[in-house]
Structure 1
């Protein structure tokens, strides 16, 4: 019942998350190039032959930039909501497209992928819960504010990719113009370190073995700042800060 997970890249320069078992895997988003996706998976000893589908969270370029070439090369079905597809600019008929709807489970072999709505400034944004037997992994990034959908799913997870995009002080005192700061912290932008910590402290199940802090801002956050904030509250959960420059190791997640 093991799931294997890695962040191939996480940040405004590209997002791509891998979740799979021994036989099949899915990618949530593919915002780095096909070549870079292949290169990073090869370094990790992961096979593209196991990847059976791509699930799209929303249409922002750092989440979909690599999809057309990757999906076309491997003829991967791309699961995407109609609203996101309308805003994606994807070329027609070069790879299989599948309609994605909230709370309608999609089975990829023995993996069950369920999408649910989130708060973000995109057309129809969704987060994901990937289940294999009793093991559950969540991919929760690009979230403007916690909502009941997020809390309900986070509390089920044995591991989670959880957004910690910005530090409040670094954002407030940084170089971004006021309108962009408001976009980031305005309820449909991104989660702060403190918001992510509050979700973690309040709703983490005792059995969560790994949390991967994800989508950290280059300018408004610092891996050490985020890590230091979480460390006193981890308990038995292992903390990983996903990089915007390279892949993380592959982690084995099990329901025990």
Structure 2
């Protein structure tokens, strides 16, 4: 991976509160702005996980949402209502929520248009997933870029163009294809998870990574690993193999602990 780029000023970092089918949330900070990506945890659990990062929920400047699946959105409305936080999400995602977001400060976004939350520039991009209008995001402070890609069944040229040249990348490695095929999931669930609107397996994630411009990459994080259908060693081996780095250079976001702060320099 690229060496530290001293020419870039300090000031951007990210951390994951947790990653997996039981709950997801990521926080990114640029300058004085802190943005939460998704919230699939209860209110008390979210507050506790933020405190592990030395953050208070009151310090957040808003929440952006990828899609309406419960492990990503179930805690958003409660957190936003409790701490008076604005929320950004697509029209399709909002349409699925009924009255859950009633009375909140909600902004509908285009899957293609960049917007800003304080010092954080937010670029949404559409992804193939079995949701109403799912997006993922690239976050930037104008100099550094953090790309996030989870909950996607297959890649597209647009995804690869969007994620090329990032300084940090959180990338789904949901399952090992053989473990999924041989596991005890019902056939229909295997088809959904492994399908083009499901979740990326290790090999497909590595192949996607290999097609990106990784010349600026400082951090690569394997995320959204399945408890039953994957192993950390398999995900790490797949990603490190394509980057030509040591397994120790691949970070893994866990369901229980997430991932501590990573500085993008």
Task: Confirm or deny a common fold (TM above 0.5).
Answer: yes
Pick the TM interval, shorter chain: over 0.9
Q: Aligned residue for 2:6?
A: none
Distance in 1 (alpha carbons) for counterparts of 2:27 and 2:101: 25
- Once the 2 structures are TM-superposed, how far is the Cα of residue 148 of structure 1 from its aligned partner? 1.6
Corresponding residue for residue 65 of structure 2: 56
Find the counterpart in structure 1 of residue 144 from structure 2.
135
Residues 1:4 and 2:13 aligned together:
yes
Provide the C-alpha distance between the structure 1 equivalents of 2:245 and 2:144, rounded to a whole number of angstroms.
17
Maintained 8 Å contact 1:23/1:50: no
Instruction: Please provide the CA RMSD for this pair.
Output: 1.5
Deviates more, 1:232-241 or 1:215-224: 232-241
Give 1:204 shift: 4.0
Q: Distance in 2 between matches of 1:70 and 1:199?
A: 34
Counterpart of 1:216 in structure 2 is 225
1:120 positional shift:
0.2
Which residue of 39, 43, 48 corresponds with 1:30?
39
Aligned to 2:262: 251
Q: Given that residues 147 and 169 in structure 2 are in contact (C-alpha distance below 8 angstroms), is that contact kept between their aligned partners in structure 1?
A: yes
2:240 is matched with 231
| Aligned-pair CA distance for 1:235 | 4.3
Structure 1 residues 69 and 155: alpha-carbon distance in aligned structure 2, compared to 1, 3 A threshold? same
- Separation of aligned partners in 2, 1:24 and 1:226: 32
**Residue number among 150, 153, 165 corresponding to 1:144 in the alignment:** 153
SS at the partner of 1:224?
helix
Q: Structure 2: 5+ residue runs without aligned partners?
A: 1-8
Number of aligned residue pairs: 254
Distance 1:231 1:156 in 2: 18
Deviation at 1:203, TM superposition (A): 1.1
Q: What is the rounded CA distance, in whole Å, between the counterparts of 1:40 and 1:228 in structure 2?
A: 28
Q: Is the 8 A contact 2:160 2:211 kept in 1?
A: no
Secondary structure (helix, strand or coil) at the match of 1:129 reads strand
Structure 1 distance, partners of 2:100, 2:214, is 42
Q: What pairs up with 1:1-256 in 2 under 5 angstroms?
A: 1=9, 2-235=11-244, 238-254=249-265
Distance 1:45 1:150 in 2: 33
For normalisation by structure 2, the TM-score amounts to: 0.91
TM-score calculated relative to the size of structure 1: 0.94
| Structure 1 position 50, deviation (Å) | 3.2
